[in-house]
Structure 1
Amino acid sequence: MTGELHHHEDSVETADAHRTVQQHRQKQSVASTDLRRVPTADVASTDQRPSLEHTRSHISHHDITLFPTTSTTFQEVNPEQYTRFSPRRKYAITAILSLCGFLSPVSSTTILAAVPEVAATYNTSGSIINLSNALYMIFMGISPCLWGPISTIYGRRWPSIISAALFFVFSIGTALAPDLASFFVFRMLTAYQGTSFLIVGNACIGDIYAPVERGTALSAFLSGTLIGPAFGPFIGGIIVTFCTWRDIFWLQTALGGLATVLVILFLPETIPEKKIEELKELSATQRYKRIMHWTSPIRVGVLLFSYPNLLIAGLASSSLVWNMYSLLTPIRYVLNPRFNLTSPIQSGLFYIAPGCGYLLGTFFGGRYADFIVKKHIKIKNKRVPEDRLRSCWAFIGIVTPACMLVYGWSVDQKVGGVPLPVAAMFIQGVSQLFCFPSLNTYCLDVMQAKGMSAEVVAGNYMIRYLFAAAGSAVCLPAIEAMGVGWFSTISTGFLVVSAAMVWATTIWGEGWRKAVDRKKKAKRVQRAQQELDAKGASEKV
């Protein structure tokens, strides 16, 4: 039964559409045959049976639903899927995934503390080195379009092993880069591999944890992905103060090697059924065409933009990531002159504040999201995925924007000294860990039963890291043009608008999902009807 739940809509649901149309035709054929066999007198005596006449005149192929008994009811995954691993094994899997999720994001910010030193090595400017960071984010945003479908087709384990090994190799290339061009190339290749950990990690959590405990587990996993960017500049600051900037990437290489070993030895396959198993009966040509169709990057974007609720979750996550990277990227350029800091390690200390906030939020954000889910299950006697979003309203719409304003204007107007912006960064770090687990888990909750958890997470990360790239690229020029206060105000507006959209999704998102599903089912049934009609016509010829 678990396998049935995880077949992709393009195969199983289309086959169901064919069966539905065929069953309807058979019923019509049987009804017509029975009528022809009944004597005339009997027909006259049974003319008052409304069910026969009603059925024949009312049903058409436009009215047929794909799942007649549960056409738009939210479907749960077979609970047995979540009992395959013991609690201790789940903790170990989550810990490995958290370490892997730490790697790519930490690499995106460790270089920030060493930008002047890297620029001096390659005889270029700090703006050019920051551009490499923006390109790093862009490639982190592009790669989910590939890693998401691949992890559904071939499972979670092998993509994790391959990406970990390539991350290790490309980190060596970055550390040894002899010129600026090779530095850029290896940075981008590292980013492309590193995002796999984020996609596969989220999907694995969805594979092994039930919805009522998924938020807590995802919070632990996300702690690695968020602590990495926050502590990265501090780590980089220490290294560049006492060693060369290339040692930053040698440390990254060592961590990549450790992750590769752990994944090979201890990460099991978590997906209940790989899509590749659907292709066993097909010819080589048919398998190739199906795989090319499944791995098309367009599919991830189409899925994201097909469902308004998923697009809003992606934009809300993007607003948080935009704020995070536009806050972290310019610290050395904004706070060093503000507080007369002279060394990388001094400015690196400021990154500890949001990092500690992320660490503290790990223990509460996911648990609070799961608490809200359980609370509304008791109220409604059923689980509605949108209820999870209630846990992040106040944090994305009030707490995080307030912290951004306090940080920006306290630095801009030179008030509050060091404690005020540090406190704002710390509280914002805690607040974001109340938002990300809720938004990420919501995406998994909605698409888990459709067997598309990796694809929906891929779409979410695609849009959020494209916004992160934009934030990294424009923050310094924007701050120089308008000041950190007004730039923080604009970022705050992005957060508030996102919060309003999340609120709307909580209220109306279930209806949006059902409307999209109805349209998709109608199209599939219509397509199945056309295929059967064409097949029937060819058989007659």
Structure 2
Amino acid sequence: MSTTKIGASPHEHTATVARASRPESSSSYSFKVPGSAQSTSDVTPAQGSPEHKAVDTLETVEAKGGVDDLANMHDWATGSHNPRNWSSKKKWTTATIGSWYTFVPALASSMMAPGLREVAANYSITNSSVLSLTLSIFLLSFAIGPLVFAPLSEIYGRSLILHSTNILSLGFALGCAFAPDTGSFIAFRFLLGFSGSAPTAIGPGLVGDLFAAHERGSAMSLYALGPLFAPAIGPVAGGYLAQYASIKYIFILLAALFGVAALAGVPLMQETYEPVIQYRMAKKAGDVLRMKELRKIQTEGSGSTAGFLWRSGVRPIVYLTRSLICFVFGLYLAVVYGIYYLMLATFPPFFSETYGFKAGTGGLMYLGLGVGLVIAGIVGGKMSDSSYQKQTQKNGGVGKPEFRMPAVAPGAIAIPVGLFWYGWSAQAKLHWIMPVVGTGFFGFGFMATYLPVQLYLVDSFKYAASASASAFFFRSLFGFFFPLFGQQMFDAMGLGGGNSFLAAVSIVLGIPFPIWIFYKGEMLRRRNPMTRESVQ
């Protein structure tokens, strides 16, 4: 179940492990044999059975040096191997490294935006759609990657996937820096987006591994700063690099940042996913029976890893098509994300043609978005936790996913305000600070709505990582497509009319539905088999 009682003891918590913290398992992680109330750790194989022969004796385990691990497996609720029992310092160090892993690929998504004109000159690109493609192709693979990396992390662990994809991203960034032609540049951008999507896909699961539901808002806001804040500040440095050096140095800098992430992450980040930790402990202890049971849980009983990956990869698409909650919230986040990347792609020509800014100064205009995102990241996480805890206390100490909805309101209002402000002040060609302030309101609204909606999906669905991946897939596709047609829309409707249209869409999706979910969400969850288990 996903409901969580505040103040629950470690034993009580582990007995009712919130699905959000272990997103993809098909059962709770007290590791009970299906159809039985007995823990696998308490199962004693029949004398003479193959399972009995497979289990090492205590003397054998002790000789292998695994007796401590065996004891910890039987006392997981209070054991030091359980990430929920780590010190606060260790938890936040892990979360911070994870956020850094997420931050650098997000920088890569937009850092080249102010230098698009240099990209056009370097590769003789004259078609505006092809030029936009060099920027947005990153997001196409960014949408596909989570369908692969999220389930892989459930088998091989969060840390292994994070470390390996970070190294791949370093190589692909260097490929972008030295690409000889347009085709190879776009190909390396695609590959960079694919490998760079892994941290964003794994992030909600990692936060859930470390923190209880009532602590999760602040941790999620730290993690969300990477994918949301970095695209807004990347163009600041990218603009000056493009203006005074060369576009290739943007990607050389990114490669260096991936290297710094590896130097910090590899020695300091430990595994956080409970089934993988328990599997490794069982392997060290020589407990073959438990290893088999854990692997069965990790792959949801599938006969092969490939079969598990296929089902897990398809599941986010199933969620989008068979869950009204997932579809509408996914669509809302996708529209807002698409608008965000439309701004990133259209800022350079707008500020250059309207105010005469060069690439470096034009990159500073992205700071409005960045400031709004940071304010919401600081305030929004605390606001989300405070709102959730207040509603939970009113409900006798039992939390519900719907208690996340009141925190959506400030952001849902700020988004259209920011779009109206930005669009009409830009069309009127007022002082440059006016459209920048408007983007600040939009940035605040984006982050302020993203956090509670993401947490609602994590709390509600049986396979929370798949729910997150479905929303991520949806919004990355919109981030890819919006810049391809956005400039044509602004040419036809003007900046004021185009942004007013987008504001109207955000109002229709972002205000009535969260209110309805607050009152009727539990009923919807009860009726849908994908969310039924989250109803107490």
TM-score normalised according to structure 1 size? 0.78
Instruction: Identify the residue that residue 24 of structure 1 maps to in structure 2.
Output: none
Query: 1:3, 1:273 within 8 Å by CA — same for their partners in 2?
Result: no
Which of the numbers 334, 340, 347 marks the counterpart of 2:350? 334
Match of 2:332 in 1: 316
Q: Is 1:154–1:275's contact at 8 Å kept on the other side of the alignment?
A: no
Measured after TM superposition, the shift of residue 143 of structure 1 is 1.2
Deviation at 1:244, TM superposition (A): 0.8
Q: Which amino acid aligns with 1:177?
A: A
Deviation string for 1:365-419 (max 9, x for gaps)? 11000010011011111101111121012321x21101101111111133x4222
> C-alpha distance in 2, partners of 1:3/1:179?
57
After superposition, what is the alpha-carbon deviation per residue over 1:127-149, rounded to whole angstroms, capped at 9, x for unaligned?
A: 32211222211111111111111
The SS at the match of 1:334 is helix
CA 1:152 to 1:420, structure 2 compared with 1: closer, same or farther past 3 Å? same
Within the alignment, does 1:503 sit opposite 2:515 as a pair? yes
Cα deviation for residue 326 of structure 1 reads 1.5
Distance 1:79 1:141 in 2: 38
Residue 417 of structure 1, aligned match among 416, 420, 431: 431
State whether residues 23 and 464 of structure 2, in contact with CA within 8 Å, keep that contact through their aligned partners in structure 1: no
Kept after mapping to 1: 8 A contact 2:525/2:532: no
Pairwise CA distance, 1:181:
1.2
State the alpha-carbon separation in 1 of the partners of residues 232 and 450 from structure 2: 15
- Correspondence list, 1:323-472, <5 A: 323-341=339-357, 343-381=358-396, 382-396=398-412, 398-414=413-429, 416-447=430-461, 450=462, 452-472=463-483
Structure 1 CA distance for aligned equivalents of residues 34 and 525 of structure 2: 20
Which structure 1 residue ranges, 5 or more long, are not aligned? 21-76, 522-541
Which blocks of at least 5 consecutive residues in structure 2 are unaligned? 1-10, 38-75, 280-289
Q: Distance in 2 between matches of 1:89 and 1:243?
A: 40
Which AA in structure 1 matches 2:254?
Answer: Q
Match of 2:202 in 1: 200
User: Aligned partners of 1:456, 1:286: CA distance in 2, in Å?
Assistant: 17
Provide the secondary structure at the position in 1 that maps to 2:270: coil
Post-superposition shift, 1:428? Answer: 2.1
- What does residue range 137-216 of structure 1 map to in structure 2 within 5 Å? 137-216=139-218
* Distance change (3 Å), C-alpha of 1:16 and 1:174: same
**Match for residue 274 of structure 1?**
276
Deviations, residues 197-256 of structure 1 (Å, cap 9, x unaligned) = 111122111111111121111111111222211011111111011101100000010011
Task: Report the equivalent of 1:478.
Answer: 489
Q: Are the counterparts in 2 of residues 153 and 276 from structure 1 also a CA contact under 8 Å?
A: no
Deviates more, 1:225-234 or 1:241-250: 225-234
- Cα distance in 2 between the residues matched to 1:311 and 1:10: 22
- Structure 2 CA distance for partners of 1:82 and 1:374, relative to 1, 3 Å: farther
1:473 deviation in Å?
1.5
- For normalisation by structure 2, the TM-score amounts to 0.79
Deviation at 1:466, TM superposition (A): 0.7
Relative to structure 1, the CA distance from residue 208 to residue 501 in structure 2 (aligned partners, 3 Å threshold; closer, same or farther) is same
Distance in 2 separating the partners of 1:371 and 1:457: 23
Question: d(CA) in 2 for partners of 1:463 and 1:78?
Answer: 37
- Indicate the residue corresponding to 2:50 in structure 1: none
The verdict on how the C-alpha distance between 1:480 and 1:286 changes in structure 2, with shifts beyond 3 A counting, is closer
Give the aligned partner of residue 55 of structure 2: none
Task: List per-residue Cα deviations over 1:432-473 (Å, max 9, x = no partner).
Answer: 2211111122222224xx4x3322221121111111112222
Deviates more, 1:193-202 or 1:301-310: 301-310
Return the index of the structure with the highest Cα Rg: 1
SS at match of 1:517: coil
Equivalence map 1:195-274=2 (5 Å): 195-274=197-276
Letter in 1 for 2:477: L
Could you say what secondary structure the match of 2:274 adopts? Answer: coil
The one-letter amino acid paired with 2:418 is C
Taking only the aligned residue pairs, the percentage that are identical comes to 24
Change (3 A) 1:516 1:79: farther
Aligned residues of 1:113 and 1:233 also touching (Cα < 8 A): yes
Distance 1:407 1:286 in 2: 48
In structure 2, relative to structure 1, the CA distance for the partners of 1:205 and 1:422 (3 Å cut) is same
SS at match of 1:367: helix
Aligned partner of residue 86 in structure 2, secondary structure = coil
**Contact between 1:206 and 1:453, CA under 8 Å: does it hold in 2?**
no
Q: How many residues align?
A: 458
Counterpart residue type for residue 419 of structure 1:
I
Aligned runs of 1:6-155 on 2, under 5 Å? 83-125=84-126, 126-155=128-157
Q: Which residue type is aligned with residue 504 of structure 2?
A: G
The letter of the residue matching 2:187 is V
Opposite residue 229 of structure 2, the aligned amino acid is I
Task: Report SS of the residue matched to 2:112.
Answer: helix
Q: Which residue of 2 is the match for residue 73 of structure 1?
A: none
- The answer (yes or no) to whether the contact 1:301–1:459 under 8 Å persists in 2 is yes
Contact preservation (8 Å) 1:312, 1:502: no
Say which SS state the counterpart of residue 365 (structure 2) adopts.
helix
Instruction: State the one-letter code of the partner of 1:161.
Output: H
